[in-house]
Amino acid sequence: MSLRGWEAHEAAVGRLRASYAEIPAGAPVRLAKKTTNLFRPRAATTAPGLDVSGLDGVIAIDAFAQTADVQGVCTYEDLVDATLPHGLIPYVVPQLRTITLGGAVTGLGIESTSFRNGLPHESVLEMDVFTGAGEVVTCSPEVNSDLFDAFPNSYGSLGYATRLKIRLEPVPSYVALRHVRFDDAGLLAKTAADIADSGEHEGVRVDGMDGVAFAPGEYYLTLATWQEEPGATSDYTGQDVFYRSIQQRETDLLSMYDYLWRWDTDWFWCSGAFGAQNPTIRRFWPKRWRRSDVYMKLLGLDRRFSIADRLDRRAGRPQRERVIQDIEVPVERLPEFLEWFDDAIGMRPVWLCPCRAERDWPTYPLEPDRLYVNVGFWGTVHVGPEAVDAPRNRAIEQKVHELDGHKSLYSEAFYDRATFDELYDGANLAAVKGRYDPQDRLTSLYDKAVKRR
């Protein structure tokens, strides 16, 4: 893809400013953006939104310094397309193609390099943030550091990133994979911790690490090693499905590009809900439609017309509760969480991704240098009439809190205000918001994230 350039970027910021001026005084300020990777409802509004057209590209790449200036609504798919020809990628590339860089920083992101590179915001050197006051504020660890530090996990409650300067890391052309099976979750947790500390497993360097819990007693860590040496690579954009290969083979080789998007083709395993993993249907399902954003649109149709609920009623099945969450617990508490999750929720498979924060970030305060494991689970559970009260989601929140963990806020949340402020440093967030959004034009994080009943 071609680079956008600074002149085009400034013109786009100008349109953004002009669209802000058209929003009536007192009306909430929000993006005029149709696509989303969020799984919680947005409040309806008739007010115009911020025009972010033209803020979806890469401004410039400095291959020598290994940095890039990127616009806030640029997707990781477009970002990788621009950096990979230089032999560079972002420090952390979230699993889904249409996640935006600004979205991953303000809403958090994670992937297999997070055990050594942290979360996406930790490779940001500088940001321009469009605030609720209609100003573009440049922030970094040295300048307006309160905004810079509080921005990760603020989900637009402090403003929207128009430009981010990020570090890039050099990568070769291929990724060798080892799928290591564990019968015991405790041994998996210990092995993950050892790898995070040493950077290797059985004498082989580990550049990426994530895993899958398929069932009680069947756990895998997938260990990735960057390599330049070519070989026969696997293709999981065709009939084969990546997550199934984890159980079927001990080693694998992917191109770097295919490794980065290995989960997107089938939205991890969730494409099965649309029949896309059925061999017959898959054969006629165009490759260009085997993408997470396509499945997201199909999910939107299901929500709009209640297709799954109608089929359940017709078949006499209990009402479903949607359980779509990512949580982090300290690595030593992972076995306890998985045992509880099997008994209380019973959803499989689930994704496992070790991560470690380099320093304290107040709005998502993971303890620095402590290894956590992200557990991702996305699906529905038949619970009956009480599904409307979200009993499984509420139980997960409580358990994660008990285990000294945190929950991502891209989906539904049910915390009371005091607990929410305790977990996400509400006092500091309010102070920063008061400085950069004195008229309270942006919706607060609590009001954005907590689903009201």
pLDDT at site 453? 41
Number of structural domains the chain divides into? 1
Q: Is residue 31 part of a domain?
A: yes
Can you say whether the dihedral through the CA atoms of 340, 377, 447, 45 is positive or negative?
negative
Q: Is residue 34 part of a domain?
A: yes
CATH code, 111: 3.30.465.10
Q: Is residue 23 part of a domain?
A: yes
Q: Is residue 371 part of a domain?
A: no
- Count CB-CB contacts under 10 A for residue 348: 16
pLDDT at site 179? 98
Taking CA atoms, 432 is separated from 50, 131, 218, 429, in Å, by 21, 11, 45, 5
pLDDT at site 313? 78
Return d(Cα 401, Cα 238) in angstroms, integer. Answer: 41
- 1 HSE (CA, 13 A, CB side): 20
Cβ-Cβ contacts under 8 Å for 30 (sequence gap 6 or more): 45, 47, 49, 50, 156, 442, 443
Q: Is residue 306 part of a domain?
A: no
> What range defines the domain where residue 26 resides?
6-171
How buried is residue 90: exposed, middle or buried, by Cβ count under 10 Å (0-12/13-18/19+)?
buried
Q: Is residue 138 part of a domain?
A: yes
Q: Is residue 390 part of a domain?
A: no
Decide: 60 and 5 in contact? Cβ < 8 Å. Answer: yes
pLDDT at site 36? 62
pLDDT tens over the chain, length 453 residues:
568 899 999 999 999 999 999 998 888 888 876 666 565 555 555 567 889 999 999 999 999 999 999 999 999 999 999 999 999 999 999 999 999 999 999 998 999 999 999 999 999 999 999 999 999 999 999 999 999 999 999 999 999 999 999 999 999 999 999 999 999 999 999 999 999 999 999 999 999 999 999 999 999 999 999 999 999 999 999 999 999 999 999 999 999 999 999 999 999 999 998 999 999 999 999 999 999 999 888 888 877 777 777 776 787 788 889 999 999 999 999 999 999 999 999 999 999 999 999 999 999 999 999 999 999 999 999 989 998 899 999 999 999 999 999 999 998 899 999 999 999 999 999 999 999 999 999 999 999 999 654
Q: Is residue 15 part of a domain?
A: yes
How buried is residue 233: exposed, middle or buried, by Cβ count under 10 Å (0-12/13-18/19+)?
middle
Decide: 403 and 397 in contact? Cβ < 8 Å. Answer: no
pLDDT at site 317? 85
Return d(Cα 379, Cα 382) in angstroms, integer. Answer: 10
